[in-house]
Amino acid sequence: MKYSIFSLAKAALTGHKGWGRAWRDAAPKAHYDVVIIGGGGHGLATAYYLAERYGIRNVAVLEKGWIGSGNAGRNTTIIRSNYGLPGNTGFYELSMKLWERMEQDLNYNTMVSQRGIINLYHSDAQRDAFARRGNTMRINGIDAELLDKAAVRKMLPFLNHDNARFPIMGGLVQRRGGTARHDAVVWGYARAADGLGVDIIQNCEVTGFVRDHNGRITSVETSRGRIGAGKVGMAVAGNSSRVAAMAGLRLPIESHVLQAFVSEAIKPLIPGVITFGAGHFYVSQSDKGGLVFGGDIDGYNSYAQRGNMPVIEDVCEGGMALMPMISRVRMLRNWGGIMDMSMDGTPIIDKSPVDGLYLNAGWCYGGFKATPASGLVFAHLMATDAPHEEAWRFRLDRFERGAMIDEKGQGAQPNLH
Ligand SMILES: Cc1cc2nc3c(=O)[nH]c(=O)nc-3n(C[C@H](O)[C@H](O)[C@H](O)COP(=O)(O)OP(=O)(O)OC[C@H]3O[C@@H](n4cnc5c(N)ncnc54)[C@H](O)[C@@H]3O)c2cc1C
C-alpha cells in the first residue's frame, strides 16, 4: 500500500482506523514448493529472497509461536563485518552491504544505524591479533581502524581506562558497524515476503517429517495438520538440534542460553557499540536512551528462554570494571534466548544428509548481523541446489574433514557479538 503525506496525516488524526495489515494471517495450503521452518529473521529473509531473487513464490514460513518471538526479537541488535577468517570475511561483508540498502530494498524503516563498533584491547598480543584482523578486513575492502590508547581515551572519556586487571591499550574500530531495530527487521522481511505471495503461518509448530520410500521428505507434520513440501528449509536457531532430531539427524550443535539487559533511559552517552571481550561485557545505547548490554552465555545446555544469576553477576561485574558509573543506573529488565552453538562458532548452511531437507543453523550469539546474507545464501542454496559463492565453506561435513572456521570470539571463546 502506498501512503501520501495526506493519507498519513488523516490516519494519525483518525486513530489509524483502516490501516492495512503489514502481512496476511495465512492459513496453510496442502502443498508448497518450499516450506521454511522458523519465522525468525533468517527464515523470513530466506522466504523473501526465494520470491524476490529466484521467482519461487509458492513458499510458506511456519512459525510455532509468533514471528520474531525467538532470538530475532531478543538480541542486542549489533551489526558488523569485522571478521578475519576466509569464509566469514566475505559473507559478513555481503551482509553489511545488504544492511546498507535494506530500507530501500524492503521499503521499510529498519532503523539501521551505522554508529560504529569498537573492540577494546588490553595487551600487546591482543593488539597484534586485532591489527591482523584489521589488515585482513582492509585487504578485503572492509573499513577498519586500529586506535591507540590516546585515541580511545579521547573517543570514550567516560571509561575506566586504567583498571588494574585490563587497562585499555586501544581498540579496533569499524565505523560502518552499529545497530538495527531487530523486530522492525522481522516485520520488514515479513511484509515484503507477504507482498510477493509468501504465506506466513504463525502458531504452526512442526512436529515431524514425512518421507517417501526413497527417504526423501515430502511433507511436514504440524500442529495445524500435514503440509506437503517440495523442499524444506530449517531456520530454527536454538531449536536446531530438536528439529533435526525429528529427521533422524544429530547436529554438531549445542543449545545454550544467552542473556541480555537494558537499563532505564539516560541521556546520550555511548556513541556506538563497545565490546570489552576480556571482561565479557559489551554495551550500546538504544534510541530511547537505555543502555543495552550483555556478556557470556550461561555455561550449561538448555532450551529455556531464561538464564540464571551467576551470569547476571558476571555481566554486572564486567560493566562496572569498564564503566564504574553504570552501578548508579537502574536495570529495567533482562531476558534470554536460545543459542545454537556450533562447535567452531561458524554457521552451517548446507544440504542435509536427508534428501529434501536443507540446514541453516549454528549461528551462536552472532546471527542477527547475518540475517540478510543468511537469507540470501540459503535461498540460493534451496533454489539452485548449489552453495552461494560466499557460503560454500559453511558445510556440515567440515567437522569430519577438519576444515573448521574457528574465528576468535564466535564460539565457546569469549564473545564479542
Ligand atoms: C540475548 C541475545 C543477544 C544477541 N545479540 C546479538 C547481536 O548483538 N548481534 C548479532 O548478530 N546476534 C545476536 N544474537 C544472536 C541472534 O539473535 C541469532 O543468532 C539470530 O537471531 C538467529 O536467527 P533467527 O533470527 O532466524 O532466529 P529465531 O528468531 O530464534 O528464529 C527461529 C524461529 O524458529 C521457531 N521454531 C523453533 N522450532 C520450531 C518448530 N518446531 N516449528 C516451527 N517453528 C519453530 C522459533 O519459535 C523461532 O521463532 C543475540 C541473541 C540473544 C539471545
How far apart CA 22 and CA 48 sit, in angstroms, is 14
How far apart CA 221 and CA 37 sit, in angstroms, is 11
CA 56 distance to own-chain centroid: 24
Radius of gyration of the chain (CA): 21
More confident site: 246 or 412: 246
Instruction: Please tell me whether residues 383 and 269 are part of one structural domain.
Output: no
5 part of a folded domain: no
Instruction: Please tell me whether residues 291 and 365 are part of one structural domain.
Output: no
Closest by CA to 81, choosing from 393, 379, 388, 373, is 373
Instruction: Please tell me whether residues 167 and 194 are part of one structural domain.
Output: no
Instruction: Please tell me whether residues 259 and 243 are part of one structural domain.
Output: no
6 part of a folded domain: no
- Identify the band that residue 292 occupies on the pLDDT scale cut at 50, 70 and 90: very high
Q: What pLDDT does residue 98 have? A: 98
Instruction: Please tell me whether residues 320 and 194 are part of one structural domain.
Output: no
Q: What is the mean pLDDT of residues 179-193?
A: 98
Q: What pLDDT does residue 412 have? A: 54
Instruction: Please tell me whether residues 327 and 353 are part of one structural domain.
Output: no
**CA–centroid distance, residue 402 to ligand 1 (Å):** 27
- pTM of the shown model: 0.96
Which ligand 1 atom is nearest residue 65's CA?
47
220 part of a folded domain: yes
Q: Would you say residue 34 has pLDDT above 80?
A: yes
Mean per-residue pLDDT over the chain, rounded: 95
How do residues 369-390 score in pLDDT, each as one tens digit? 999 999 999 999 999 999 999 9
Q: Establish whether residue 69 lines the binding site of ligand 1, counting it when its CB lies within 6 angstroms of any ligand atom.
A: yes
Q: The domain containing residue 152 runs over which residues? A: 113-177+254-341
Which ligand 1 atom is nearest residue 370's CA?
11
Select from 309, 341, 373 the last residue of a domain: 341
Which domain CATH number covers 301?
A: 3.30.9.10
Instruction: Please tell me whether residues 131 and 262 are part of one structural domain.
Output: yes
Q: What pLDDT does residue 413 have? A: 53
Instruction: Please tell me whether residues 188 and 69 are part of one structural domain.
Output: yes
Q: Establish whether residue 37 lines the binding site of ligand 1, counting it when its CB lies within 6 angstroms of any ligand atom.
A: yes
45, containing H or E segment: helix 41-52
How far apart CA 253 and CA 237 sit, in angstroms, is 10
Q: Establish whether residue 368 lines the binding site of ligand 1, counting it when its CB lies within 6 angstroms of any ligand atom.
A: yes
**CA–centroid distance, residue 235 to ligand 1 (Å):** 9
Instruction: Please tell me whether residues 267 and 394 are part of one structural domain.
Output: no
**Atom 53 of ligand 1, residue of closest alpha carbon:** 337
Q: Establish whether residue 241 lines the binding site of ligand 1, counting it when its CB lies within 6 angstroms of any ligand atom.
A: no
Q: How many domains are there within the chain?
A: 2
**CA–centroid distance, residue 256 to ligand 1 (Å):** 12
129 part of a folded domain: yes
Instruction: Please tell me whether residues 72 and 191 are part of one structural domain.
Output: yes
How do residues 194-236 score in pLDDT, each as one tens digit? 999 999 999 999 999 999 999 999 999 999 999 999 999 999 9
**CA–centroid distance, residue 373 to ligand 1 (Å):** 15
Instruction: Please tell me whether residues 187 and 335 are part of one structural domain.
Output: no
Closest by CA to 405, choosing from 89, 131, 120, is 89
Residue in the block written with cell 559463492: 389
* C-alpha distance from residue 272 to each of 18, 146, 178, 284, 285 (Å): 38, 16, 6, 6, 7
108 part of a folded domain: no
Q: Establish whether residue 293 lines the binding site of ligand 1, counting it when its CB lies within 6 angstroms of any ligand atom.
A: no
130 part of a folded domain: yes
Which of 44, 236, 346 gets mutated to test ligand 1 (max ligand atoms within 8 A of its CB)? 236
**CA–centroid distance, residue 44 to ligand 1 (Å):** 12
Instruction: Please tell me whether residues 192 and 61 are part of one structural domain.
Output: yes
Q: Give, to the nearest 10 degrees, the angle between helix 371-384 and helix 88-100.
A: 110
Q: Establish whether residue 40 lines the binding site of ligand 1, counting it when its CB lies within 6 angstroms of any ligand atom.
A: yes
Q: What pLDDT does residue 409 have? A: 67
3 part of a folded domain: no
Using the CB atoms, write b or e for 212-229: b if 16+ within 10 Å.
eeeeebbbbebeeeebeb
How do residues 68-91 score in pLDDT, each as one tens digit? 999 999 999 999 999 999 999 999
- Identify the band that residue 238 occupies on the pLDDT scale cut at 50, 70 and 90: very high
Which domain CATH number covers 207?
A: 3.50.50.60
Q: Would you say residue 331 has pLDDT above 80?
A: yes
93 part of a folded domain: no
Q: What pLDDT does residue 164 have? A: 87
**Atom 32 of ligand 1, residue of closest alpha carbon:** 236
